[in-house]
Structure formats: structure tokens, C-alpha cells
Amino acid sequence: MEIIYIAILFFAFLSGESKNLKFSTFSLIPHSLLIATSVFLLGYYQKIPSLYLIAGVDFLVRAILMPVLLIIILKQRLERETKPLITHALSIALSVVLLSVIFNLVETLKIQKLPDVLSSFSCGFTLAIYGLFLLISKRDMVKMIIAFFIIENGIHFLIIALIPHLPKGIELALTFNFVVALFLFIYVTLRLNEILVFEEIRKFRESNIFYKSKE
Amino acid sequence: MDFTGFISVLTFSGPMIGSLLVFFFRKNLISSSVSLISIFIAFLCTLLCSFELGKSGQYVIVPLNGFYIDGLSILMQFMAEIVAFFGILYSIKELLKLYEHRKKNFYLFYCAILLSTGFMNLSFMLNNLFLVYISLELSSIVAVYLITFNLSKEALKAGFRYLLIVNIGILFSLVGIVLLFYATEGNVLIADMGQNVRELSKIMAFICAGLFIVGFFTKAGLIPFHTWLPDTYSQAPTAVTVFLSGGITKIGLYGVTRTLTVFSSHLEEIKLLVILLSSVSMLFAAILSFSQKDVKKLIAYTSISEMGIIAGAFAINSYLSIFGGLFHLLNHTLMKATLFFSIGALIYIKGTKIIDELKGIGRENTSTATSFFIGALAVGGLPLFGSFYSSVTIFLAFYQSNMPWTSVLLALSGFISALALLRAATKVFWSNAHPQISLHVPLTLKFCFLFFSFSLILVGIFPQTVYPLLHIAAMGILKIVN
């Protein structure tokens, strides 16, 4: 399982640090697929059938719906990320340190103090913290949505680790909340993109008129 | 299902069914009428629920499995329904003039208000913290549509920030609930909170309380998690601003009451932390209000300051402080509705929120001016208004719990907030500038702000009218704590 968790963190890192937003979005697909797989495997090893359903929902929402919606946003805008608050090199360095240190630290802590908690705990905790780091350091709206998604995935993993027998209804309702929030994110971002594109066109036209009148 | 169960279900299903009807009928007149009627039905059902609670002779009723209705639930529902009702009434004219470009989507605006109110009412009645979380989360997510209704760049940015910060903030409280569930082996019922927290280890209690602080303080817009609030209040239509200040942000305080009040009664350190953070909100928000040029942002900052007072009062955890906190919660709704509705009438006339651009516009609007001054003086906690009694009660509660410095901060923040509001009011209402535009304010708008300013005075002169409900609510909270 550990190799799957490391792969999940790796794809989260790729998604968070890539300058190309399309690549970031596509990196979310293996990230989410691995999440669904790990939930399924946890269900299988721990003999918790309700986790199969959750894995199925995760596959639909996280691995298919989320990337599709992000690609819709990207159709209307540049694929390059808006300049973040910190330099790219520093961001990569901090991310590597953060991901490796927190994952190992929490894993050790979990083995010593929380032996009955499921193995997804350390990965979930690391994802949530990494998502917060992305949220603070990035300024691009798409990257912020990705950061929100990574935090949400982390908390989803935490819930599964701490309460694998959470009633299915509550788990599904939590996913429903996430989907509603996601749709509203997409709605607001698309509308904002429309305005920004419109403003760019207006500025371009004005500058053309200015140069023509000069000539 | 017995009668009590039926009416308690109607309090949240009424607005939800109303939103479905509005979605299908779509016509503007039908949409607004159906919205008003469904909120009124919900209000009547809440009133009946309060009678049932009074008749029961206890401080809690459990009409259906999974429900937990006490005085706080009833009080919160009343406030949500009142601001939703008057918000809809106010928006009828406001939308037609200021948001004409969104004419085709007015029905969706009403749908969103009704859905949000329905989910809010539901979250105030549920017993399981997970379900409370899901319901309050849905209520605040739906409000994004209302905030961004104008579809201007600033409104969309404010909506995006709200969605991001509030969503992530509230996820912290979800982690808190998950931890509590883990530590208590599956019991996250509000009714058992006191018992559960007492049995928690100290370290687990600290972690849970910390997560609840981040989550619910973000939702309530308290400093340092307030960054979404001023822009959101400023960019939303005035009717929505009142709905947000009287309903949506109150959900955060509801969460504080249900969780942090219990934690702070068992752990002195958490009590001190909450009071410290609340004091920071009280003072700094009042100071920040002074530098605002946007009148709605100014009122938003004074609102944060008052939310700090209320959160601090709930943390003290004595009967007096909880009673005062609940009374101030009610007054806060009345004061903010008065201020936002009256200044909204001027924004309706001029179409701007900038204080300097509103200069002189209120000079000949006597009713608007009177209403705004009533709201501003009430914020200062002057006699004749309900806020005087609630502020004095909280002041005494802080003093009795050996925290005189908090009492001083409370008085100081109230004074600064009132000063900032009066400074803006003198510019808007007493300036010599003569705007060359029609100063006609529609009757529905006038009715809304006059209703709330009249209510402020009424509660100030006859505070005993609301005491029974506040008493039941305070006893309900203490019942969980102990």
C-alpha cells in the first residue's frame, strides 16, 4: 500500500508544481485513480464492503468529473499558470521537503501512537497540509481549485483512516457537498474568465484605435 | 409522525418545496410571492415549535429520531426566517433596478435564498454533528450564487474567495468532528457533547477545539479568518448582505455554541484562547472600520467586531454570559439589517457604495437618515436600544469571571464602531452637496428598514418580550454543557 500512497503524493506534487495547467489537470487523473484504488484495496484487506461503494463514487467524482470540469475551464484561458507568490524553484524545494518530511513523520507517529488507525492516515494528513501550502503559495484560480481538491482528498483519506465504518449515507452526502462546491467553483471561474477575456479584447481594441488615430 | 414532528419538518421542507415551485414557475411575480409565502409558512411552523417547546416544560424536544430542538434552534430559525423574508421583500425592487441585466435569472435568486434558508433551518435542528456539518455546508455553498449574482468582476472575485476560504475553513471543523467520532467511539450527538468532552483526553480535546475554532471562526468571519467577509458583504446585493449577516454567518456562531462552549467549560485554556481571539476581533475590526471608504465594508467590519463580542460571551459559559450573548445575537441581526437596508436604499438611488460619492444624498431622505442613525447608535450600545441591555449583561459577565480587561475592550470597541458609523453618517446625511437626481425610495424598501429600526427600539423599551425565549435558549445550551 505504501507505494500507492507515495505515488498519490507524487502526482499531487506534479499537479501542484507544474506550470502548465493542462498538465496539472491531467496529473490529477492518476492521482485520483490511485485514491479510488487504495480505498478499494483498503476495503478488500480490512473486509469493509462499504468502502467498495466509496471507491466507485471516488472514481466517478474525483477521477472523471473533476478533471473534465477543469478542462472545460482551461478551454477559455491560457494554459500557463499566473505567477505564484514564491519562485518556482523555491516552491518545488519546499514541496519536496514538506511532502517527504510530513509523510514520514506522521507515518512514524501513527505506528507508535495510533496503531489501530488505517494506513491512509499519513497520506491523508500530508495531502491536506500540502494542499494548504499550495493554496497559500499560488495565485492562479485553477491552481487554487486544485489545492482545494488536494485538501479535500486528504480529508477524505483521513475520514477513511479514522472511521472506516462511517455510515454510507454520511460519506455519500459529504461527496455530494464536494460536488456542489465544485460546480459552483467552475461556475464562478468560467464567469470570471468570460469577463477577463472580454476586458482583454476591449483593451486590445482600444490600443488599436489609439495607434490608428496616431498614424 | 405526530404534530410536532410534522411542523418541525415543515420548517425546513417548506422553503425547499418553495424553491422547487419557484424553479418550475419562473415568472417574477410568482417567484417572489411563492418565496414569501414559503418563508412565512416556515416562520409559522417555527412559532408553533416554540409553543410546543414551552408546553413541554423541558428545554429540549425530540420530535423525530435524529432531531434535537432547543431554544437556540428556535432562536436561530427565527432569525434566519426573518432575514430571508425581508431580504426577499427588499430584493423585489432592488433586483429590478440594480440587477436588470440578470432579469432572466431572478427565479434562481429566489430559489437560492429558499434553499439556503431550508438547509439552515435543517442544520439548526439536527442532533448528529456530521449531518449538521453537511447541512450548514450546503446552506453556505448555495449562497455563493447570491453573492455573485451581479456577475461583475469584483462580485465574482468575492464569491470565489468566499467559496474557497469558507469551504476550506469549515473542512477543519469536519476533521474536528471526525476526531471526536474516533475518540468517542462513534458518538457525535449534540445531546451528548458535554458527556463526551468530559471523557476526552486533554490533548485530544485541545486538537478538536483548535479545529473547531478554525472552522467555525472562519464561518462566522472572525479575525484572523475574516478576509472573505468585508468584500462579500460589499459586493453582494443589499438583500443578500442582510441575509448573510443575519443568517449565514450566524451558522458559525451556532457551531461555536454547540461545540466550543462545551469545550471551554471543561478546559480553562480553551476558554482563554477563544476569549483572546474574540477580543482581537472586537477591537481590531472596530479600528479597521475607521479606514473604510465603502460604506458596506464599514458596516461589515463593525459586524465582525460584534461577532467577536458574542463569541467571547459564549466562551465564558455562565448563565449570564450565554443569556447576554444570545440577546446580542438577536440585536446584531436587528442592527445590521437596519444599517444595511437603510444604506441600501441610498445605494438603490445612486448605485454606488463609496461614502464620498454618497455625500448629501441622504440629506432629504429623513426616514433613511433616522433609520441609519438608530442603527449606528444601537451599535454603540446606547440606552433605549436592546443592544444596551445585551452589552451591559455581557460586560457584567466578563467582569464577574475576573476578566475586566475584556469588559473594557467591549465598551471600547462598541464606542469605536459607533463613532466610525456616525462619521460616515454625517458625511452621507449632513453634507451640503445637492445631488441632482430623484431621491424616491420605494415603499417596500422603506418598510424593510423602518421595520427593523422600530424592532430595535421595541426590544430596547420592552426587552422582557424576548426574555422567555432567551432564557429557554440559554438553559438549553447549559443543559448540553452540564
Partner A, chain B 129-148, Cβ-Cβ below 8 Å = 130-131, 134, 137-138, 141-142, 144-145, 148
Nearest by CB: B175 against A158, A177, A185: A158
Partner B, chain A 168-207, Cβ-Cβ below 8 Å = 170, 173-174, 176-177, 180-181, 184-185, 187-189, 191-192, 195-196, 199
The alpha carbon of residue A185 is apart from the nearest alpha carbon of chain B, in Å, by 7
Cα dihedral A88→A90→A92→A98 (10° resolution): -150
The answer to whether B187 contacts chain A (CB < 8 Å) is: no
pLDDT at B75: 94
Whether residue A160 contacts residue A154, with contact meaning beta carbons closer than 8 Å, is answered with: no
The answer to whether B151 contacts chain A (CB < 8 Å) is: yes
Cα-based distances in Å from B143 to B118, B119, B233, B249: 12, 11, 12, 11
pLDDT at A114: 77
The alpha carbon of residue B152 is apart from the nearest alpha carbon of chain A, in Å, by 8
Any bridge partners for residue A80, and if so which? Answer: A20
Whether residue B163 contacts residue A189, with contact meaning beta carbons closer than 8 Å, is answered with: no
Q: Which three cell numbers stand for residue A45?
A: 484487506
Q: Is B186 left (phi over 0), alpha (psi -120 to 50) or beta?
A: left
The alpha carbon of residue B38 is apart from the nearest alpha carbon of chain A, in Å, by 24
Nearest by CB: B141 against A135, A166, A180: A180
The answer to whether B181 contacts chain A (CB < 8 Å) is: yes
pLDDT at A214: 66
Whether residue B301 contacts residue B289, with contact meaning beta carbons closer than 8 Å, is answered with: yes
Nearest by CB: A195 against B142, B156, B167: B156
Measured N-to-C along each axis, helices B443-461 and B319-350 cross at an angle, to the nearest 10 degrees, of: 160
Q: Where are the beta strands (DSSP E) in A98-196?
A: none
Q: How far apart are CA B103 and CA B80, in angstroms?
A: 26
- Tens-place pLDDT, residues A7-66: 999 999 998 888 888 898 999 999 999 999 999 998 888 888 888 888 998 899 888 988
- Tens-place pLDDT, residues B174-201: 999 998 988 888 888 888 888 888 888 8
Q: Which three cell numbers stand for residue B286?
A: 472596530
Share of chain B above pLDDT 70, in %: 98
First to last CA, chain A: 68
pLDDT at A102: 87
- Tens-place pLDDT, residues B259-300: 888 888 888 888 889 999 999 999 999 999 988 889 999 999
Nearest by CB: A185 against B152, B163, B186: B163
pLDDT at B433: 66
pLDDT at B435: 62
Residue A26: in which H helix or E strand, if any? helix A21-46
Query: Is B182 close to A188, i.e. CB distance below 8 A?
Result: no
Helix %, strand %, coil % of chain B (to 5): 80, 0, 15
Whether residue B86 contacts residue B102, with contact meaning beta carbons closer than 8 Å, is answered with: no
- Tens-place pLDDT, residues B202-257: 888 899 999 999 999 999 988 888 889 999 999 999 999 999 999 899 999 999 89
pLDDT at B437: 64
Average pLDDT in chain B: 89
Residues of chain A contacting B186 with CB distance shorter than 8 Å? 163
Query: Is A163 close to B175, i.e. CB distance below 8 A?
Result: no
pLDDT at B407: 87
pLDDT at A177: 87
Amino acid at B60: V
Q: What are phi and psi of A60, to 5 degrees?
A: -65, -50
pLDDT at B384: 86
The answer to whether B152 contacts chain A (CB < 8 Å) is: yes
The alpha carbon of residue B237 is apart from the nearest alpha carbon of chain A, in Å, by 16
**Residue ranges in B221-257 assigned as alpha helix (H):** 229-235, 238-243, 249-255
Q: Which residues of chain A register pLDDT less than 50?
A: none
Amino acid at B15: P
Q: Which residues of chain B register pLDDT less than 70?
A: 362, 433-439
Interface probe, candidates A76, A118, A187, A188, chain B, greatest B C-beta count within 10 A: A188
Grouping H, G, I as helix, E, B as strand and the rest as coil, residue B65 is: coil
pLDDT at B358: 82
Q: How far apart are CA B15 and CA B83, in angstroms?
A: 13
Query: Is A152 close to B171, i.e. CB distance below 8 A?
Result: yes
Residues of chain B contacting A196 with CB distance shorter than 8 Å? 153
Cα dihedral B135→B140→B143→B147 (10° resolution): 180
Q: How far apart are CA B379 and CA A36, in angstroms?
A: 52
Q: How far apart are CA B44 and CA B246, in angstroms?
A: 19
Query: Is A151 close to B138, i.e. CB distance below 8 A?
Result: no
How is chain B split into domains, by residue range? 3-481
Query: Is A162 close to B178, i.e. CB distance below 8 A?
Result: yes
How is chain A split into domains, by residue range? 2-214
Residues of chain B contacting A180 with CB distance shorter than 8 Å? 138, 141-142
Q: How far apart are CA B83 and CA B300, in angstroms?
A: 16
First to last CA, chain B: 31
Query: Is B148 close to A188, i.e. CB distance below 8 A?
Result: yes
* ipTM exceeding the 0.90 mark: no
| Residues sharing a CB contact under 8 Å with residue A43, sequence separation 6 or more, in sequence order | A49, A50, A51, A52, A54, A55
What is B122-160 written as a DSSP string?
HHTTB-BHHHHHHHHHHHHHHHHHHHTTT--HHHHHHHH
Partner B, chain A 5-64, Cβ-Cβ below 8 Å = none
Residues of chain B contacting A115 with CB distance shorter than 8 Å? none
Please choose, from the candidates B138, B92, B418, B33, the residue with its C-alpha nearest in 3D space to the C-alpha of residue B238.
B92
pLDDT at B438: 63
Q: Which residue of B has its CA nearest to A186?
A: B160
